[in-house]
Structure 1
């Protein structure tokens, strides 16, 4: 297997685009080569099977969804509800702006019901994400417990799904209002 990390990342990014556009059935090593604009056979030099490609594409989506260190530093809550609401709106907008990544992730989640190795990768990644969100929230001293954070993450995930798959259900203003209300209601109407 080839070891060029930049080429591997480019191939995985191409796989994400194919997944989002064609679905998991359309994801082949040849389709990835074509999407990446590389010679036929290149992807097979990096991934020994379609299963390996699916599993690594699942990990790659999360790499790209995680905010960079500068964004994480800006996301440190100050304790007031307006800041928390703005941070969560930023999260919804950031994740939604990687439309193909989120759609590919949905395809990967469906595929994970049939592929234990992919399910293991996605389960670990989602659990880590959830645990980090809870830990960051609890360390900030903001009101609300782990369950509140988990419920917010689940609610916002579905809101993002609605926005990406049926974008005319909510206007941007309605989406922002839903984020605000979710924060207020899950914080128990307490000032954060």
Structure 2
């Protein structure tokens, strides 16, 4: 397998775009090569097979959606209360809106996992690790609420983001900020 990290990142970025635009069925090495603007056959030199490409793309999506340390650093200067959790959820929405393709690609991977048990197991592990890391971070940082609070917040935000990115007219784009505020207010206890 080829080891150029920059090329691998460019290929996984291209895979994210292909997934978001064409779905999992459109994700081929040839489509990734074309999207990345590299010679045909390049992606097959970097990934052992389609499953490897899907796995690495799933992990790469989480990397792309990682909070900006400067923004998070600024937010974390505030007291550990519901207002801070609200600000963090608004930052999450901002990041997802900025990388719409990344989140849509993750949705495509979820759908593909419903049809492929081996992929379901791997994606479940990846998403479970992310959720556990979020729970640990919430508790370690002293945010209000407990493990269950984080799980409910995760489920509510996931549903809100799916609705917003796939059918924004259902809730209305202007309603999103107020919905995030309401969601946090009803999920996270006061400090």
Q: Contact 1:58–1:108 (CA<8 Å) still a contact in 2?
A: yes
Aligned length: 190
> For 1:48 and 1:80, how far apart are their aligned partners in 2?
46
Mapping of residues 101-140 of structure 1, within 5 Å:
101-140=102-141
> For 1:22 and 1:101, how far apart are their aligned partners in 2?
13
Q: What is the CA RMSD across the aligned residues, in angstroms?
A: 1.8
> For 2:174 and 2:3, how far apart are their aligned partners in 1?
46
Q: Contact 1:19–1:26 (CA<8 Å) still a contact in 2?
A: yes
What is the CA distance between 1:95 and its match in structure 2?
1.7
Mapping of residues 1-192 of structure 1, within 5 Å:
1-76=1-76, 78-188=79-189, 191-192=190-191
> For 1:118 and 1:96, how far apart are their aligned partners in 2?
26
What is the CA distance between 1:134 and its match in structure 2?
1.7
DSSP 3-state at the match of 1:169: helix
Q: Contact 1:61–1:105 (CA<8 Å) still a contact in 2?
A: yes
5+ residue gaps in structure 2? Answer: none
Specify whether residues 81 and 174 from structure 1 end up closer, same or farther in structure 2 by C-alpha distance, changes over 3 A only.
same
Q: Structure 1 length normalisation: TM-score?
A: 0.89
Residue-by-residue CA offset, 1:95-120 (whole Å, 9 max, x unaligned):
23211111111111111233344333
> For 2:57 and 2:156, how far apart are their aligned partners in 1?
25
Structure 1 residue ranges (4+ consecutive) displaced by more than 6 angstroms after TM superposition: none
Specify whether residues 124 and 179 from structure 1 end up closer, same or farther in structure 2 by C-alpha distance, changes over 3 A only.
same
> For 1:74 and 1:6, how far apart are their aligned partners in 2?
29
Q: Contact 2:82–2:144 (CA<8 Å) still a contact in 1?
A: no
